[in-house]
Structures are given as structure tokens and as C-alpha cells.
Amino acid sequence: MTIELRHLRGFLAIAEESNLTRAAARLHLTQPALTRTLQQLEAHLGVRLVDRSTHHLALTPAGHEFRRNAAAAIAAVEHALDPDRSRRLPVRLGHAWSALGAHTTSLQRRWKRAHPETVLEVLRLDERSAGLASGAVDVAVLRGPVTVPDVPGVTVAHLMREPRLAAVADDSPLAGRATLTLADLASHPLALNTVTGSTSLALWPPGAAPTQVVPVKNTDDWLAVIIAGDAVGVTAAGTAAMHPNPAVRYVPLTDAPPVDVILAWREPVTHPAVPDLLRLAHDVVRR
């Protein structure tokens, strides 16, 4: 049989709704009709895309991979048929934390002036690929050590380097220092973002790293334990720009390597404005 756009749209609706009934209602179909559409697609591909054996519908690993390809295919078709409409859709810039740091506001304002017809959505997603792997964004800002998402067709470009800072509570004895070293932090519990952070114990020489770690899953929790005085942190300068807090003192670290910041996107691009966004991001950072 021939696979049509309705098969792709049906699958994407199921993936986004995680529910056959809601996906069918969204497409103005009956649930049995949408189920047949999914079965036809799976039969054509020879793989199972959706696990329907549990009460909670979930994509299989093959389904996650196909979702990215299907979304890119639909975006390409829509742009080819109606390029003006596709440009009116928001272009999505994902980040796990701190976006472009001190350059974020400039990027947003310059984009709005230059591209009033296309909304720029800056989205924080607490995952290593900042939404690129799941197809939730068109471009992702990633901070090192960077692992390129395991997504077909990913392209990356280096954007900038940010110096590392220590983050300590404002009533800590360390808060009054003009600069700090990694050794100054070694005797304190260390807050580590284990999901998306750029800090690890490997920053310290062997045997000299903090012995107590406070694991957290996002920037908000990371800040909370530092404000409480339960831990110190190490981060990139972008965090200080995006998360200033009177209860946190950001202090330059003199012996920590900088953090690489890269942009990542998929080819073919998932939004026609992606090249413009990449050019503007580089221009904003250069200025």
C-alpha cells in the first residue's frame, strides 16, 4: 500500500497526545479509523511504533526515531506547499539552562524587530539534548561537555565559550572573595545537576574533588540547595546572567576551564527560519 501524509499526521497526533481517543478527536476521526491508519503505517515500515500493551500508550524506540523523521517530512511538505504559512509558525529555540546567557535578551529583541512575522519561542527543557532529540525544538543550545544528540542529520556549530563561576550562598565565608579556585570548594558539598549540567567531579584533580555531592535534576533545584547553604555549585557565566539572585554570589573560578556553547539543529531544517536564527545568534554573540 502507499503511505500518505494522513498516516504521518495520524502518527504524530498519537505521539503528541499519548492517547488514541484524544488523537482521533483532534483529527476528527473515529478511534477505530485512526487505529487502522497506525496499523497500516506499522505494517508498511515493518516495525512497531506504538506500545499499546499498557494502560499508558507509549512510543517504542523505533517510534521515537520515526517521530523525528515524520515531523521533518511534514514540515518540509507544508513549507513547499505554503512557505508563507510555515514562516508564520513559531521557530523554537531550546535550552536546558541559561539559553544564550547575557545575549538572550538581545537575541529576542533583535529577532522580533527583524522577523515580526515569525515568533521566536525560547523553551527550557530539562533534557540533555534540550528538546532536539524529541523534536520539541528546531534549534538547541547545548553546553559542554557536549554529547551530540543521537538524531539523524544533526549539525552543530560552536557559538562561544563561557568562563566558569562558583555559586555560593551570600552568607557563606566564600561569598566575600573576589575569586575562588576549585580547591576552595573541595571541602564543601557540591550541587550537581545530573540531568543537564556541565559540571562533574572530573574538573578536580584525582583525589582532590569534593567528597559529598548533592544531586539535583534542574537549575531551580540547584539554586535552592545553594541558597539554603546546603551546597556550593560550579556553573557557566550564562547562569549568572539568567538567574541572578540576591541570596547567591557568583564568584569567578581562576583554574576551571571554560564551557563550550554550541548550537545544534537537524538537516533538513524543521523550520524555514532556522538559517536566519543561526546567523542572528552568531551575530549577537560577536557584537
pLDDT one-digit tens code per residue, 18-38: 888 888 998 889 999 999 999
Of residues 198 and 55, more confidently modeled = 198
Q: Is the peptide bond before 61 cis (omega within 30 degrees of 0)?
A: no
Per-residue pLDDT, 85? 58
Task: Name the pLDDT band for 55 (thresholds 50, 70, 90).
Answer: low
Position 81 pLDDT exceeds 80 = no
Contact criterion met (CB below 8 Å) for 133 and 151? yes
Position 87 pLDDT exceeds 80 = no
In the chain, the domains with their CATH numbers are 5-81 (1.10.10.10), 85-157+260-286 (3.40.190.10), 164-257 (3.40.190.10)
Among 120-134, 179-193, 244-258, which stretch is predicted with the lowest mean pLDDT?
120-134
Per-residue pLDDT, 267? 84
Overall pTM surpassing 0.85 (yes/no)? no
Strand 139-143 and strand 91-95: the pairing is parallel
Task: Name the pLDDT band for 97 (thresholds 50, 70, 90).
Answer: very high
Per-residue pLDDT, 220? 95
pLDDT averaged over every residue in the chain: 91
Count of CB atoms situated within 10 Å of the CB of 221: 16
Which three cell numbers, joined as nine digits, stand for 27? 483529527
Position 207 pLDDT exceeds 60 = yes
Contact criterion met (CB below 8 Å) for 248 and 169? yes
Of residues 12 and 139, more confidently modeled = 139
Residues 128-152 have pLDDT tens digits of 889 888 778 999 999 987 667 666 6
Contact criterion met (CB below 8 Å) for 265 and 154? yes
Taking residues 56-74, report their average pLDDT. 83
High-pLDDT (> 90) share of the chain, %? 68
Per the listing, cell 570548594 goes with 185
Position 247 pLDDT exceeds 80 = yes
Per-residue pLDDT, 92? 95
State whether the Cα torsion 83-113-283-198 is positive or negative. Answer: negative
| Residue closest to 134 by CA, chosen among 195, 63, 86, 39 | 63
Taking residues 236-259, report their average pLDDT. 97
87 Cβ neighbours under 8 A, 6+ residues apart: 117, 118, 272, 273
Per-residue pLDDT, 279? 97
Per-residue pLDDT, 174? 98
Position 83 pLDDT exceeds 90 = no
Position 52 pLDDT exceeds 60 = yes
| Torsion angle of the four alpha carbons 60, 64, 70, 72, in this order, in degrees rounded to the nearest 10 | 180
Taking residues 240-258, report their average pLDDT. 97
Taking residues 96-112, report their average pLDDT. 97
Taking residues 92-97, report their average pLDDT. 95
Among 89-98, 118-127, 135-144, 147-156, which stretch is predicted with the lowest mean pLDDT?
147-156
